[in-house]
Amino acid sequence: MLNRFVSITTALIALLCMNSLFAQTQQPQPTVDSLLDQIEIKAREIKSYEAFMRLDQIEGLLGDQQIWFGKLYYVTDPQIKFAVDFQKHVVNNQLQVKKRQWVYDGVWLVERLDDKKQFFKRQIHSPEDLKKAAHDNVDPMAMENNPFPIPLRAKKAEVLKRFTVELITTKSDLDPQDAAFYHLKLIPKPSSQIDFTEVNLWYDKTTLLPLKCQTNNDDSGNESIFTLTKAVLNQPIAPEMLSTQAPTDRGWHVEITPLQATPQQ
């Protein structure tokens, strides 16, 4: 009796597994339009975002490769702000503790190099820019304007305006290994004036959050790969992580560059 029960149970488990596998293989692939719609809807839920980040930088012409490890912080309310806080650096296969920080507060973009005691603060938007962006419902730090082009606020209309988008179903060496994903390839349109010649994005199929972003520039041979892990949504982020205040300690070199006024016609 026990052997028969085990046999029946084993058969049921096998059948359930086959049905699950069949359902997965029969699940239709979304179109580019429908996937971008889903990603945009998901983006509206993001009030704050925090994740570990790895950045691989390859300079093709020089044959140089560097890796940075840190965290990405991002908030949307009352306006978009983000910070990238790198803590470790690998060059020539040597791991170093090296702090680099970039912070955008909606108006100013800061680059801070702690080991060199250098602080660069550059105004990249005016209050009028932000008002216009809010009125037009566009992201002032869209992918092409952002030193860290992580598409957390990707809007379908803006993406299709600037890029030709393809849903990739073939395997790639850069595919994430620990999650089911969608892979989008973006080619900038000639009118977009974007430095990248190709952008590849991988989104988690379950959460629709970005897993990886690769940018290529065929002219320079430069490539950047951003990998995001252990994402946390809508939890408080310490205000100091998003601060653009200059250090007041002695020995720091501080440069602050206001936005140049546009000459009136």
pLDDT digits 0-9 by tens, 23-46: 344 457 899 999 999 999 999 999
Task: Please report whether residue 1 resides in a domain.
Answer: no
The proportion of the chain whose per-residue pLDDT surpasses 90, expressed as a percent, equals 59
Task: Please report whether residue 227 resides in a domain.
Answer: yes
Looking at residue 22, its pLDDT comes to 38
Whether the per-residue pLDDT at 232 is higher than 80: the answer is yes
Task: Please report whether residue 135 resides in a domain.
Answer: yes
Structural domain of 160 = 30-257
Model confidence pLDDT, tens digit, residues 237-259: 999 999 999 999 999 999 999 98
Q: In angstroms, rounded to a whole number, what is the distance separating the alpha carbons of residues 155 and 39?
A: 8
Task: Please report whether residue 159 resides in a domain.
Answer: yes
Task: Please report whether residue 44 resides in a domain.
Answer: yes
Give the count of domains, the chain. Answer: 1
Task: Please report whether residue 20 resides in a domain.
Answer: no
pTM for the full predicted model = 0.81
- Residue 67 CB neighbour total at 10 angstroms: 16
| Residue-wise DSSP of 155-175 | -HHHHHHHEEEEEE-S--TT-
Task: Please report whether residue 57 resides in a domain.
Answer: yes
CATH number at residue 53: 2.50.20.10
Looking at residue 63, its pLDDT comes to 72
Task: Please report whether residue 7 resides in a domain.
Answer: no
